[in-house]
Amino acid sequence: MKVLTRWFSRNLIRIYMVLGFTYLFIPVAYTFAFSFNDYIKSNLVWRGFTWNNWKQPCGVLDVCPALGNSIKIGLLATFIATILGTLIAFALGRYAFRGRAVTNTLIFLPMASPELVLGASLLTIFLNLGMNLGFWTIVIAHVMFCISFVVVTVKARIASLDPRLEQAAMDLYANERETFRRVTFPLVAPGIAGAALLAFSLSFDDFIITNFNSGTTITFPLYVYTHAERGLPAQANVIGSAMFFLALIIVVLGQVVSAKRKVGTK
């Protein structure tokens, strides 16, 4: 009994880790497994293994157009939010101006507000302005809540920079533009890239705000919601699995590149 107790105490963290990862990856495993289901109408019951769903990911009506809408909206929202958020982050991180503290507080409001409130508020604004709900109202809504995440991410990167590096560049007769292009921007670029990836994932995955402001435009999360009751088509599971593995590859590559840079600097 004492041996078992000692083993349990020594491996408690590992046990928690295994249980935590199991809890997190059960839905992912289910999605991946049922992407191979040889279903007929409902994808709720396992009927047999097939490769056809992976060979024809667009074999179901509207699934690929919905995915295309999500990708286009995500890219547009990410591009706009990253540019605006980066400019705001530099303003807040590098300059002192009247209202800076208030601006810092306001940046967190979209992150702290419930998505139901944001979605309903944006819907009211769009209707009062007479705008037709659809693709562009979704883009505007996604830019609005993605900017906050970009600002926070890039601002943290700016705060971690060593100001002596820029001072050294200026001591070597580089002007402000050259210093920014050759020193500041390369150092902040990983933070900007991380913020862009975060913004895209938030935009691609959003359902609540999109549902309020989508009109007749169907994104991939809306497609999943409308087909969930009778079981998602296996092609939707294929797309979901592919997106998961793509994100996993990006994370792993980022870790490998980061590790190589650390080894190179030693």
Domain shared by 28 and 122, yes or no: no
Domain shared by 221 and 113, yes or no: yes
| 256 inside domain | no
Domain shared by 36 and 165, yes or no: no
Return the number of other C-beta atoms located less than 10 Å from residue 233's C-beta: 25
Return the number of other C-beta atoms located less than 10 Å from residue 97's C-beta: 8
Residue showing tokens 């705008």: 131
| 89 inside domain | yes
Return the number of other C-beta atoms located less than 10 Å from residue 195's C-beta: 28
| 252 inside domain | no
What domain range is 163 assigned to? 61-232
Q: Which amino acid is at 36?
A: F
| 242 inside domain | no
Q: Which residue has the higher pLDDT, 220 or 9?
A: 220
Residue 125's pLDDT is what? 93
| 19 inside domain | yes
Assess whether pLDDT exceeds 90 at residue 83.
yes
Domain shared by 37 and 102, yes or no: no
How do residues 9-65 score in pLDDT, each as one tens digit? 788 888 888 888 889 889 889 889 988 988 877 787 888 888 998 988 888 888 899
Domain shared by 18 and 93, yes or no: no
| 257 inside domain | no
Domain shared by 78 and 154, yes or no: yes
Domain shared by 7 and 117, yes or no: no
- CA dist list (Å): 204 to 65, 104, 138: 14, 26, 11
Distance CA 32, CA 220 (A): 17
Mean predicted lDDT score pLDDT of the chain:
87
Distance CA 237, CA 108 (A): 34
The structural domain count of the chain equals 2
Domain shared by 72 and 126, yes or no: yes
Residue 1's pLDDT is what? 66
How do residues 142-172 score in pLDDT, each as one tens digit? 999 899 999 999 998 888 887 787 778 777 7
Could you tell me the pTM of the whole model?
0.85
Assess whether pLDDT exceeds 70 at residue 107.
yes
Domain shared by 34 and 68, yes or no: no
Domain shared by 128 and 94, yes or no: yes
* Residue 248: HSE in the Cβ half-sphere, 13 Å Cα cutoff: 8
In this prediction, residues 215-226 reach a mean pLDDT of 91
How do residues 116-128 score in pLDDT, each as one tens digit? 999 999 999 999 9
| 255 inside domain | no
Confidence of residue 221 (pLDDT cuts 50, 70, 90): very high
Domain shared by 79 and 198, yes or no: yes
How do residues 231-240 score in pLDDT, each as one tens digit? 778 888 999 8
Assess whether pLDDT exceeds 80 at residue 230.
no
Nearest to 122 by CA among 103, 102, 139: 139
Assess whether pLDDT exceeds 80 at residue 260.
no
Domain shared by 92 and 45, yes or no: no
Confidence of residue 264 (pLDDT cuts 50, 70, 90): low
Mean pLDDT is lowest, of 66-80, 200-214, 252-266, for 252-266
- CA dist list (Å): 84 to 10, 77, 147, 150, 178: 49, 11, 7, 9, 22
Question: 95-100: which pairs have CB atoms within 8 A and are 24 or more residues apart?
Answer: none
Residues paired with residue 37 on neighbouring β-strands, in sequence order? 49
In this prediction, residues 183-209 reach a mean pLDDT of 91
Assess whether pLDDT exceeds 90 at residue 141.
yes
| 258 inside domain | no
Q: Are 225 and 208 in contact (CB under 8 A)?
A: no
Distance CA 9, CA 153 (A): 37
What is the domain-level CATH number for residue 77?
1.10.3720.10
